[in-house]
Structures are given as structure tokens and as C-alpha cells.
Amino acid sequence: MKPNENNYDFIVIGAGSAGCVVAGRLSEAGHSVLLLEAGGKNSNPWIHIPLGYAKLYSNPSVNWCYESEPEPNLNGRKLFQPRGKVLGGSGSINGMIYVRGQPEDFDGWRDLGCEGWGFEDVLPFFKKSEHQERGPSKYHATGGPLWISDLPSTYELGDAFHEASHKLGSPYNNDFNGETQLGTGYVQVNTKNGRRWSTADAYLKSTMGRNIKVQTGVLVEQIVVDNGKVCGVKYRDKDGNYLVSARKEVIVSAGTFNSPKVLELSGIGDSEILKEKGIPVTHDLPGVGKNLQDHFGVGLEFKSTKPVTVNDLYNNIFKGGAAMMRYLLFKSGPMASNGNYSNTFITTSEEIGRPDMMITFMSWCTGEDLQPRPFSGFTILAEHIRPDARGSVHVRSSDPEEPPAISFNFLESEADKKAIIAGLRHSRKISQTAPMSDFVAEEILPGLDCESDEEMLEHCRQNGLSLLHCVGTCKMGVDDMAVVDPRLRVRGLKGLRVIDASIMPTIVSANTNAASIMIGEKGAQMIIEDWQ
């Protein structure tokens, strides 16, 4: 083990959506920061072209490419789990959709005892990060490092989806982060001038990144604890093993799968599980790796009457080439969009009282590997955004190279089954309502003979997906299962925080990147206050 002779105030583990924010803000406040990232630099050109994210979905050069354990209620299927392993983390390989969540989500955190995390408390941190292309308003701000842009153009299938949804009762909504999330409309995305704008772009490249030493290609193996105080980390790169110390704190921002993994490898976790894996217990913290939550989704796939889908760009070299040329010359056209144009947020049952289903229009239909099918096609995806399902992430052994064991337990509760069936039925209704129906040549999956609740459920078991919005495995709270307190300090240890998607006690009713970035902003602010 070689000592890394340099000394830093803070060490941040993981340069993902949240980690880059934390490192950037700490450095801006004058602290020296070492940012350790297992992946490489974000130089793959597909990272920067919005539609290119399909090329990253299962690309191990930028992606951890995990998979879940067999899911008991999904016919024993293992669910593929991409996660960014590159500067910018999952925010460098994601769909770029920017939706924050509903005020009730954050008020719910506050009501669980997380003081300072209600909607009115977190809104300033969403705004602090934001540069809203449309200009400032009650819910939006300009001047922040993170660009939030409209898609460069509307799209005839997207328009048709909105109109059909509207006929079925959804109000038009041009801002899912405004007064209400309910309704139908285009999404906004994290792009700047037609290029992806991850937190690595937003927070590391500006003057904010001046005091940060970024090291890529280093796998953090353990946090070093001395007498209840965290003093450094052990990591390895291709040349060897190192020990580096932090003068002030270590911050774990390795994401929902790897933050609990790094804690467990360090002997911080449920002592029973650690003993079983042969890891000496440093600090018994039973909640580590529990409480995994994600959105559950399942699509209806259609053959399109018009060859204007992403499948056509992929299957026709001339169309694909023309789209790429248009993108390179003008930063517009389908390559400048993420292909997931539109959302309709609905409430599947009156008692629920606020949207619990996000129905997404996707301008492609593919297998689970994201390879487009060989014809014009699109997908309408029903996504249950507040499922009851709770899973876990734990180390399999003391070997840092071994992927963690991930279980979701989707479709366990009757409420989850009821909601997803309602979401599928509404998605089908949209497809059968003009003008969306004008574009439907055929529902190919599951097909119109899939009708009864039981048949719909079987479609879910056979084709249902984790929507890659995993959170909750180092949950914030004040109960015995909380891993961090509301200031994101690991309970019972000094000098250690977790700041990333894993701290969400309950999942937000939206894609999770915006909330992860807000957590980075708020977490950094709390550290700065605590070291004033």
C-alpha cells in the first residue's frame, strides 16, 4: 500500500451526478478536494450527442453493466442495470430528462423527520443549480451551472400523443417542474446548445473546479476509520494500491448500488450480513443496503404507419446519415433529442390524489438491449412512480471487484399490480385515440388479445423493467434503519457523509437525476456551513 503524499480537505468518492456537484461547490468555497472516479474521462463522443445514449446503454467502457438477482415476481428474470462508470456518472449515460418530483415527495421526507428537506426547503437548491433556458420564474432560475433546455423541435408523434392524452382528460402541461406535474407535454432536458450537459460539464469545467484534483480510473475499496473517526480511503488503480487521508471529511457519492457497497466493504453495515461475508465489522449500521426503491415500468410496442421513428434512423443508413449530418451542422433534428419526447402524468385511482403514473412516449421500440427492432415503431411506456416494492443491495463478498447483489421485489403488493394494470390500460387508450391512433399500424407487444387483468400481469412479469431510477439504500432519517441523518452524516461515525441518490428515504415521483443534483447542492451547502 503506497501513501498518496498529497493532503486534501475533502475526498469525494464518485464523480457522478451528485459527486461532481459536491466537489465543485466545496472547491468554490476554497476547500481542496480529491475526487476519485472508477470510470474514465467523458470523451466517448456518444456521451455528448443526445440520442447517442442508446450506444452507451450496455457499453462496459462507460457503464458498470450490473444485473439484478432473479426477480421472484417477474418469472425469475434478471433485470439489466446500467450505471455510469465515467466522469459525470449515470448523468453521462442517462436520458437527460429533467423532472424534479412533486412537492409532496419532499414534504413526505420532512414528515419522516428529515428537517430541512420539505419542498420549500429544497426548491432553492434546485434553483441554485439551474440555468433555465426559458428564463427565471417562481420555480426556475438562470445563472446556475446546470443547463435545462427545451427539446430543439416538436415532433409529429409527440404532438399526437399529447392531443390523444388531452382528449382522455389530461390537461396540457408545458412545465412538469412548475405549478403541477399533472398533464401531458414535452419534457425538458439537460443539454446546452444541443449537447448533453452533465454535472461533469457543469461543475468541473468552470472555475468552480479549480481546487479539485480529479483522478479517474481508480476504484475506492475502503474507507479508513480510526476510533470512530473517518480519516481517509484506500483505493487502487492500474499501478497499485494507495492510502490517502482527508483533513476534514470523506464524502461517499458512489450512487445507489456502490455507496452501500463501499460502506459494507469498509465494515460499515448490518453486522449479520458483514459477518456472513467475512468482513470485519467496523460499525454496525443495519440500514445499509436496505430500502432499495425504483420505478417499475412496462411498455406497449407499436408498428408505426409512418417511417418517422428512431428505428428508421437506425435501420436506414441514408436517413441515419442525414440525421447525423443535420446534427453536426445545426445541432438539431432527431439526434439532438433523447427520443423520449413526452410524458403524461396521471392518477390511477381517485384515493391516491396525485399523479402516480408517468406515461412516456418513446420514439422507438427495442428489445431490452435497446437495439431497435427492424421496422418503424414506437413505445408507450407505463411507469409506476411510487411503487410499494422495497429491495436491497449488498456485497456478495469482500472482493471490491465483485458486482453487488441487487434485488427489487417488484410486483409484490396488490396495489402495485393494480396501478401498473391501470397504467397499461390508459397507455392503450392513448394509442387508440386520434390522432395517436393514426400512427398505429399494429400493437405488436403484448397485442390486443392481451386483455384481462391476468394477461396484463403476465405481460408485466415477462417484460416489466426497472426504470433505472434506483434510490434509497443509504436512506436519510432519524429512525434505527436510517444510514445518514438529515445533514447527511453517517450515523455514529465522525467525518463521513453520503451524498447521492441513495439517501432518498422514499423515491421521488419523477426521473431521479434532478433530485440527485439537488441533494448534491444541499449536501455541499451543509458541509460548507459545518466547516465555517
Ligand X SMILES: Cc1cc2nc3c(=O)[nH]c(=O)nc-3n(C[C@H](O)[C@H](O)[C@H](O)COP(=O)(O)OP(=O)(O)OC[C@H]3O[C@@H](n4cnc5c(N)ncnc54)[C@H](O)[C@@H]3O)c2cc1C
Please give the residues from 133 up to 192 whose contact with ligand X meets the rule CB under 6 A: none
Among 26, 160, 219, 323, binds ligand X (CB under 6 A): 219
Q: Is 89 in the site for ligand X (CB under 6 A)?
A: yes
Please give the residues from 427 up to 446 whose contact with ligand X meets the rule CB under 6 A: none
- Is-catalytic flag, 426? no
Give the up-direction half-sphere exposure of residue 64: CA atoms within 13 A in the CB hemisphere: 26
Euclidean distance between CA atoms 505 and 499, whole angstroms: 13
Q: Is 505 in the site for ligand X (CB under 6 A)?
A: no
Euclidean distance between CA atoms 517 and 501, whole angstroms: 9
Q: Is 17 in the site for ligand X (CB under 6 A)?
A: yes
| Least Cβ distance, residue 93 to ligand X (angstroms) | 5
> Which listed range, 77-85, 154-162, 419-427, 430-438, lies at the site for ligand X (CB under 6 A)?
77-85
Among 13, 430, 465, 484, binds ligand X (CB under 6 A): 13
Q: Which residue has the cell 461532481?
A: 20
Catalytic residue among 31, 295, 459, 469: 469
**Cβ-contact 140, 123 below 8 angstroms:** no
Binding mask 194-213 for ligand X (x = CB under 6 A): --------------------
| Least Cβ distance, residue 382 to ligand X (angstroms) | 17
Residue number with CB closer to ligand X (89 or 477): 89
Q: Is 420 in the site for ligand X (CB under 6 A)?
A: no
| Least Cβ distance, residue 372 to ligand X (angstroms) | 16
Please give the residues from 54 up to 73 whose contact with ligand X meets the rule CB under 6 A: 57
Q: Is 223 in the site for ligand X (CB under 6 A)?
A: no
Q: Is 501 in the site for ligand X (CB under 6 A)?
A: yes
| Least Cβ distance, residue 245 to ligand X (angstroms) | 17
How is residue 221 annotated by DSSP?
E
> Which listed range, 7-15, 207-215, 237-245, 482-490, lies at the site for ligand X (CB under 6 A)?
7-15
Euclidean distance between CA atoms 426 and 47, whole angstroms: 34
Q: Which residue has the cell 441518490?
A: 501
* Grid coordinates given for 247: 483533513
| Least Cβ distance, residue 130 to ligand X (angstroms) | 14
Q: Is 423 in the site for ligand X (CB under 6 A)?
A: no
Euclidean distance between CA atoms 460 and 423, whole angstroms: 11
* Grid coordinates given for 43: 470523451
In this structure, the number of other CB atoms found within 10 A of the CB of residue 178 comes to: 13
Residue number with CB closer to ligand X (255 or 446): 255
Q: Is 18 in the site for ligand X (CB under 6 A)?
A: yes
Radius of gyration of the chain from its Cα atoms, rounded to whole angstroms? 22
Binding mask 253-272 for ligand X (x = CB under 6 A): xxxx-x---x----------
Q: Is 83 in the site for ligand X (CB under 6 A)?
A: yes
Q: What is the 3-state secondary structure (H, E, C) of 438-505?
A: HHEEEEEECCCCCCCHHHHHHHHHHHCEECCCCECCCCECCCCCCCECCCCEECCCECEEECCHHHCC
Cβ contacts of residue 43 below 8 Å, gap of 6+?
Answer: none
Among 82, 232, 355, 464, binds ligand X (CB under 6 A): 82
Q: Is 472 in the site for ligand X (CB under 6 A)?
A: no
Euclidean distance between CA atoms 468 and 252, whole angstroms: 20
Euclidean distance between CA atoms 146 and 131, whole angstroms: 6
Q: Is 311 in the site for ligand X (CB under 6 A)?
A: no
**Cβ-contact 94, 207 below 8 angstroms:** no
Q: Is 429 exposed, middle or buried (0-12, 13-18, 19+ CB in 10 A)?
A: middle
Interface residue list for ligand X (CB under 6 A): 13-19, 36-39, 57, 82-85, 89-91, 93-97, 219-220, 253-256, 258, 262, 468-469, 500-501, 511-514, 516
Active-site residue list: 469
